[in-house]
A and B are shown apart, each in its own frame.
Chain A
Amino acid sequence: MITRCIIRKNAYYDSVFLMRVAKRISGQKGILEAAALMGTEKNKELLSDIGMAGPEISSVRPNDLIIAIRAEDEEPLSAVFENIDHWLNESQGQAGTIPCRTLEEALTHLPHSNLAVISVPGQYASREARKALEHGLNVFLFSDNVSVEDELSLKGFAREKGLIVMGPDCGTAIINGIGVGFSNAVRRGPIGVIGSSGTGIQEFTTLVHHFGSGISHAIGTGSRDLSDAIGGITFLSSIEVLDSDRETRVIALLSKPPGPLALQNLIHRIIQCRKPIVTCFLGPKQDPDDANLRYRKARTLDDAASLAVQIATNNPSPRLEDRSFKFQELINRERIHKSPEQKYIRGIFAGGTFCYQAQQILQDAGIMVHSNLPLEGNSKLRSPLLSVEHTLIDMGSDEFTSGRPHPMIDAGLRYERILAEAKDPQVSILLLDFILGLNASPDPAGELLPAIAEARGQTRKQGGSLSVIASVCGTENDPQNIQRQVKALEEAGVVVFSSSAKAARFCGFLVTGCPEESSVR
């Protein structure tokens, strides 16, 4: 086995493109492992951790590209060396775009721009966002690792200028029917949504679509906006925007529970709002609603979408067009062939909000879980790499994605984790989410089906039977097509629900006993 590095000085490539290059190299015959990263200190540490280090790597700079390859012998390496420049040049397909190196230059070509979409590494993101705001652009800030101080400063500056900062760590927006970042192809309609998480917005907007209604605008705020440190600046600006928007008839607010000060700001703004508001603050159970409340509270994303559609369309009970499950039969089917020791759920999530919501649903059912990002009342895992009893893992959190692609783009990490879980003879249920839409993996189900089949085989060998329960977030108009994804999963024996909340609830029933059918539908 040999390890080699290719260094390209002053050659910057984005992380998604480099993930594809690394995957392409890894797929060549005789290649054991490959990484393609820019030469930041953090990336150099990551390479060192996997045994790829040396003087040539230690001297590179953040503008330099490192491709580190481990191969069986020299022959496959030579093949990679021959092709690498071609693969890199295929890159960022600049066809049809005007080559610009600075924002100022770009603005001379597109002076009527109204949005900067920023996804540079975190340490440079605030600088680029501030420049964009100075030039009068609104900002969609996908980058993470931006400090709270910088976020507050950027959002304060934006507010002064009458602009908006969506983010940092903003995954999703839909503006006037146009998806930005990770978003789904949903119908236009009367419901506006403001949300602190990308996957929360994706689930809400696709559910509204499946309920037969549509979205006016979906505005992402970044996960910390409703903390007391930020005070909900983007939430408040967005409510103002949607309140005066002609298309929007109902406004939904999605977040974890706001900080007490941020909540005060929010309620103050809600009282002034002329349109009905639905909130979904995922988290532990709270006190019953105050009768004088000026907004309608929903406990799950499903309830929020349903409530918003009811209000917007005067339809008293919108329903998802689920195929009809014979519930008791389904539970019986999933429970047979279990070994006596099989009792635990393992949720392996790509979407952080799905992991959080599933914890809430299971906690409400009396099932406490371990997690790398635990809901209040649940336990934090000692190591995110090792599951214990009932465990729900957010595989998109920093400890997994540092230097590696997010599981919505590449299923590699979830693939390995599914196989690892199946080796534990106490595991009975695997709970998964599949997220479709722009910029997501072209085939999320297809990427994991081999792992699911292998995991089931492993459990059978151990004398048991593995239940695989899933939800697919997407629409028939997404590039991956939800029907095709669901069919592929069902043909592999996966039980697929039309929402993440339903899938989590079903897992709870498998553990605790049979439900009333109506409580799942």
Chain B
Amino acid sequence: MSDKLKDLLQNGPIAINIGIFDFAETLKIQGVEVIHLNWSPPAGGDPELIELLDQLL
């Protein structure tokens, strides 16, 4: 078990939210430190470009 997993269980979530904004809001309401990513599909959502991008990085 990693320190991050122990930390999650012992101290609760400190979260990065990727996707539905409401999930970040409800965490914040509960007093959780959270950052909501301004996410959008990578490479305009083009699967071939995404694969190429992943190979490059």
Contact = CB atoms under 8 A, between A and B. Distances in A.
A12 B21 CA distance: 12
A103 interface: yes
A106 B19 contact: no
Interface string A161-178: 111100000000001111
Contact of B1 (A61, A132, A240, A438): A240
B16 to A, nearest CB: 5
Interface in A1-57: 10, 12, 14-17, 40
B12 A176 contact: yes
Interface residues of A, number: 65
B37 A124 contact: no
Contact of B21 (A17, A136, A161): A17
Interface stretch (A137-145, A203-211, A338-346): A137-145
A119 B20 contact: yes
B19 A120 contact: yes
Contacts of B47: 123
A118 interface: yes
B8 A124 contact: no
A61 B16 contact: no
A303 interface: no
Nearest to B12: A176
Contact of A62 (B17, B21, B32, B44): B44
Interface string A207-223: 00000000001000000
Contact of A114 (B13, B17, B22, B38): B13
Contacts of A143: 19
Given A99-B38, A101-B38, A439-B23, A117 B17 contact: yes
A138 B39 contact: no
Interface in A120-139: 120-121, 123-124, 127-128, 132, 136-138
B35 A98 contact: yes
Interface stretch (A88-96, A316-324, A451-459, A486-494): A88-96
Given A97-B36, A101-B38, A116 B12 contact: no
Given A96-B28, A117-B16, A117-B19, A106 B42 contact: no
Nearest to B36: A97
B27 A116 contact: no
A109 interface: yes
A63 B14 contact: no
A370 B39 CA distance: 41
A258 to B, nearest CB: 23
B18 A217 contact: no
A274 B38 CA distance: 44
A386 to B, nearest CB: 32
Given A97-B35, A180-B27, A124 B20 contact: no
A115 B26 contact: no
A291 interface: no
A97 B14 contact: no
Given A14-B21, A98-B35, A241-B1, A117 B41 contact: no
B30 interface: yes
Contacts of B40: 10, 12, 63
B45 A175 contact: no
Contacts of B44: 10, 61-63
A162 B41 contact: no
A179 B32 CA distance: 10
A314 interface: no
Contacts of A326: none
B11 interface: yes
A245 B36 CA distance: 29
Contact of A117 (B1, B12, B27, B30): B27
A117 B2 contact: no
Contacts of B17: 116-117, 119
A124 B15 contact: no
A110 B11 CA distance: 15
A119 B19 CA distance: 5
A118 B37 CA distance: 10
A123 B20 CA distance: 15
A63 B5 contact: no
A161 B17 CA distance: 21
A332 interface: no
Contacts of B1: 162, 237, 240-241, 244
B22 A16 contact: yes
Nearest to A409: B22
Q: Which of B10, B22, B24 has the most CB of A within 10 A?
A: B22
A179 B34 CA distance: 13
B18 A117 contact: yes
B16 A138 contact: no
Given A101-B38, A124-B50, A162-B4, 16 more contacts: A14-B20, A17-B21, A63-B40, A97-B24, A97-B34, A100-B37, A110-B14, A113-B35, A117-B13, A120-B18, A120-B19, A136-B2, A175-B9, A180-B13, A180-B27, A245-B9
Interface of B: 1-2, 4-5, 7-28, 30, 32-42, 44-47, 50, 54
5 contacts: A12-B41, A17-B21, A178-B12, A179-B26, A181-B23
